[in-house]
Amino acid sequence: MLNILYPAARSILFRIDAEKAHHLSMAGLRATEKLGLLGAMASSPKPKPVNLCGLTFPNPVGLAAGLDKEANTIDALGTLGFGHVEVGTLTPQPQDGNDSPRLFRLPEHQALINRMGFNNPGIDQGLANVRSSTSFKGIIGINIGKNKVTPNEEANSDYAITFEKAYPWADYITANFSSPNTPGLRDLQSKEAAGRLLEALKNLQTKLHSKTGRYVPFALKVAPDLDETQISDLSRVFRNGGLDFLIATNTTLDRDTVKGHKNANETGGLSGAPLTQPSTEVIGQFHSHLGNDVPIIGAGGIFTTEDALAKRVAGAKLVQLYTGFVYRGPQLIHDIIQAW
Ligand X SMILES: Cc1cc2nc3c(=O)[nH]c(=O)nc-3n(C[C@H](O)[C@H](O)[C@H](O)COP(=O)(O)O)c2cc1C
Distance CA 44, CA 162 (A): 33
Q: What is the DSSP letter of 46?
A: P
Q: How far is residue 250 from each of residues 1, 163, 224, 293, measured CA to CA in Å?
A: 31, 20, 6, 21
User: Looking at this protein, which amino acid is placed at residue 17?
Assistant: D
Q: Is 176 in the site for ligand X (CB under 6 A)?
A: yes
**Residue with nearest beta carbon to ligand X:** 66
Distance CA 78, CA 63 (A): 9
Q: Is 299 in the site for ligand X (CB under 6 A)?
A: yes
DSSP secondary structure string for all residues of 279-312: HHHHHHHHHHHHTTTS-EEEES---SHHHHHHHH
Q: Is 246 in the site for ligand X (CB under 6 A)?
A: no
Q: Is 283 in the site for ligand X (CB under 6 A)?
A: no
Q: What is the DSSP letter of 271?
A: E
Of the CA atoms within 13 Å of residue 42, those in its CB half-sphere come to: 25
Select from 59, 72, 129, 143 the one that contacts ligand X (CB under 6 A): 143
Instruction: Clarify whether 179 is annotated catalytic.
Output: yes
Q: Closest CB to ligand X among 122 and 272?
A: 272
Select from 322, 328, 332, 337 the one that contacts ligand X (CB under 6 A): 322
Tell me whether the omega of the peptide bond preceding residue 249 falls within 30 degrees of 0, making it cis.
yes
Residues 81-120 that bind ligand X (CB under 6 A): 89, 103, 112, 114, 116, 118
Q: Is 218 in the site for ligand X (CB under 6 A)?
A: no
Q: Is 251 in the site for ligand X (CB under 6 A)?
A: yes
Select from 295, 301, 315, 330 the one that contacts ligand X (CB under 6 A): 301
φ and ψ at residue 111, rounded to 5 degrees: -140, 165
3-class DSSP state of 165: helix
- Among residues 30, 247, 19, 24, the alpha carbon closest in space to that of 129 is found at 30
Q: Is 275 in the site for ligand X (CB under 6 A)?
A: yes
Q: Closest CB to ligand X among 1 and 182?
A: 182
Select from 21, 42, 50, 64 the one that contacts ligand X (CB under 6 A): 64
> Which one of the listed residues 133, 179, 271, 279 is annotated catalytic?
179
Give the rounded distance of the alpha carbon of 62 from its chain centre. Answer: 8
Q: Is 285 in the site for ligand X (CB under 6 A)?
A: no
Q: Is 321 in the site for ligand X (CB under 6 A)?
A: yes
Select from 286, 324, 332, 337 the one that contacts ligand X (CB under 6 A): 324
Q: Closest CB to ligand X among 41 and 300?
A: 300
User: Looking at this protein, which amino acid is placed at residue 218?
Assistant: F
Active site residues: 179
Residues of this chain that bind ligand X (CB under 6 A): 64-66, 69, 89, 103, 112, 114, 116, 118, 143, 176, 179, 221, 250-251, 271-272, 275, 299-302, 321-324
